[in-house]
Structure 1
Amino acid sequence: MTEDTIKRRARGLDRAFDILDFLKEIGQPLRPNDIASGIGSPKSTVYELVASLLERRILEPVGKDGHVYLGRQLYFLGQAHLRHFDLTREADQALQEIVRQTRETAQMCLLNGRKYTVALMKEGERHFRISSDIGENAPIPWTASGRLLLAHLSDQQIVDLIDEDDFILPDGERLPLERFLAEIRQAGAEGFFSFDSVADTFTHCFAAPVKDPYGVAIATLCIVAPRVDAKNNYHDYRRVLIDSANNLARRINE
């Protein structure tokens, strides 16, 4: 196989992942033409890749108008991954225990490239429902977890990682870089961070790191609670969360 062939196949693989990421981000079936426009690729390339992905059931046709969406083969691949991914399996049990002790919504969160995402969630045992869309990307500076997940990086690495527009908060205000970096260093030193959510006006977010053997946060466990309950139970929630994150880290690092 020539070097040009290898490079061409690598570019094709990158484009295939662009297609999958774009469909995940949009969250609905699209025509190949719309996908090509969305990812900035030639239509002919996208049509060829879509045909290949359909053949392998990575994509599936939807309706009769040429729309495609993520295929069930991805589900089976995901299940195979989960069977051998101790973090997810162990975290599921940790979240159940957090909900049992606090009655609040519990989450496991990760970095996904330049963004933050909720990977697992257990809803709280209360009538007031608090939940998030699993797998949906969000700007890192909007999150309590983000401060912990970046704590091992240098200031320059953090600046290089985060898109400039992600410092603009939902209310239109810009989060000062100096404040963000200071909060990251505080979170890293304390092994915990919490704040009133910037995405709404009624919840408070708690986060604690799940660290690998080298002390790097590979995930966070989180509690999302109504602000009044968070204030009244702050120390209990903080203790439960930190203990749960530390116990999870010990189990997966054994």
Structure 2
Amino acid sequence: MTNNVNDKVLLVLEAICDEKSGLTYSDIVNRLSLPKSTTHRILDSLKRMNYISFDAKTERYSTGLKIIELGVKGLQQQELVDVSIDFLKKLTEITNETSFLSILIEPNEIIHIYKVESSYSIRTGADLGIRRPFYATAVGKIIVAHLNDDQIHEIVKSTQYSSFTKNTMTDPTFLIEELRRVKKMGYCMDDEEIELGLTCFAVPVFNWTDNVIAAISVGGPTDRMKSKEHLIVSELQKTSIEISKWLGYHRETVQ
């Protein structure tokens, strides 16, 4: 049995999820050979955070609402990637620059979950799954710009800011103005804000509820990106509409 506490938490959670009828406290202790005190602490934490629920009548622990919620989100993200793949390949083919599909993760960071790389030897080196602050990226700003006002102010207020380049926007007041501006324009540009020499353009992606769920972007060396800004933004907007409509979006624009 592992001595790592995080491993023990996952083992308990997996054991409960594997049993449709749930498990009693004794079942968990015996099945996993965990100390009783450790098991109590793990179960209390998981129950408090809604990852598991407890039925006082049967004295059984079962899957909680939080696990179900995460499962649904996982399926939605996979659907998002599956729908987007061919569209991003076409986007990269037309622009000859690297394209990305990105999502906002709590509380205020973004990650790229899919990309199609440019054929150029000199291109953006952004990796999948790496967390980046929303305020220093085009995808982060365009997603946050399309949230409601309360969400925007909470995210901007709770963020701790650091400068990555001289262009990084770290003043919350100016950032709020920038979010309003890019929402009105319908796209956002990262003008060497996270790395000098690299520029990125991004647009939002919406689902059937007309809520923003992701962003797509095209990025590369600044000189190439700015020389074909009109083409890139136009193709991004077309691609966003196509992906969004596949996800049930009903409008004709992504602004």
- Specify the alignment match of 2:8 in structure 1: 48
- Give me the whole-angstrom Cα distance separating, in 1, the residues matched to 2:149 and 2:243: 28
Q: How many residues align?
A: 193
How far is the alpha carbon of 1:168 from its aligned partner?
Answer: 1.9
Match status 1:103 vs 2:93 = no
- Specify the alignment match of 1:67 in structure 2: none
- Specify the alignment match of 2:231 in structure 1: 236
Change beyond 3 A, Cα 1:98–1:47: closer
- Give me the whole-angstrom Cα distance separating, in 2, the residues matched to 1:83 and 1:167: 30
How far is the alpha carbon of 1:165 from its aligned partner?
Answer: 5.1
Match status 1:196 vs 2:191 = yes
How far is the alpha carbon of 1:142 from its aligned partner?
Answer: 1.0
SS at match of 2:121: coil
Map 1:26-41 → 2, pairs under 5 A: 32=4
Map 1:15-30 → 2, pairs under 5 A: none
Match status 1:123 vs 2:117 = yes
Match status 1:87 vs 2:80 = yes
Change beyond 3 A, Cα 1:174–1:204: closer
Q: 1:181 aligns with which of 176, 182, 189?
A: 176
Change beyond 3 A, Cα 1:202–1:234: same
1:46-77 deviations in Å (ceiling 9; x for gaps) = 46325547989xxxxxxxxxxxxxxxxxxxxx
1:191-245 deviations in Å (ceiling 9; x for gaps) = 1111313221111110011122443221111000211111211111111111111
1:31-53 deviations in Å (ceiling 9; x for gaps) = 83xxxxxxxxxx5xx46325547
- Give me the whole-angstrom Cα distance separating, in 2, the residues matched to 1:84 and 1:148: 18
Change beyond 3 A, Cα 1:171–1:84: closer
Question: Unpaired runs of 5+ in structure 1?
Answer: 1-30, 33-42, 57-77
SS at match of 2:173: helix
The root-mean-square deviation of aligned C-alpha atoms, in Å, is 3.2
Give the share of equivalent positions with the same residue, in percent.
20
1:63-97 deviations in Å (ceiling 9; x for gaps) = xxxxxxxxxxxxxxx9xx56994321111111101
Question: Unpaired runs of 5+ in structure 2?
Answer: 17-70, 250-255
- Specify the alignment match of 1:38 in structure 2: none
TM-score, normalisation: structure 1 = 0.66
Larger of the two Rg values belongs to structure: 2
Q: Is the 8 A contact 1:197 1:204 kept in 2?
A: yes
Map 1:146-185 → 2, pairs under 5 A: 146-162=140-156, 164=158, 166-171=160-165, 175-185=170-180
With 124-133 and 113-122 compared, the bigger mean Cα shift is at 124-133
- Give me the whole-angstrom Cα distance separating, in 1, the residues matched to 2:77 and 2:176: 35
- Specify the alignment match of 1:144 in structure 2: 138
Change beyond 3 A, Cα 1:174–1:226: closer
How far is the alpha carbon of 1:164 from its aligned partner?
Answer: 4.5
Match status 1:223 vs 2:218 = yes
What is the one-letter code of the residue matched to 2:110?
Y
How far is the alpha carbon of 1:170 from its aligned partner?
Answer: 1.7
- Give me the whole-angstrom Cα distance separating, in 1, the residues matched to 2:186 and 2:9: 44
- Give me the whole-angstrom Cα distance separating, in 1, the residues matched to 2:181 and 2:138: 12
- Specify the alignment match of 1:10 in structure 2: none
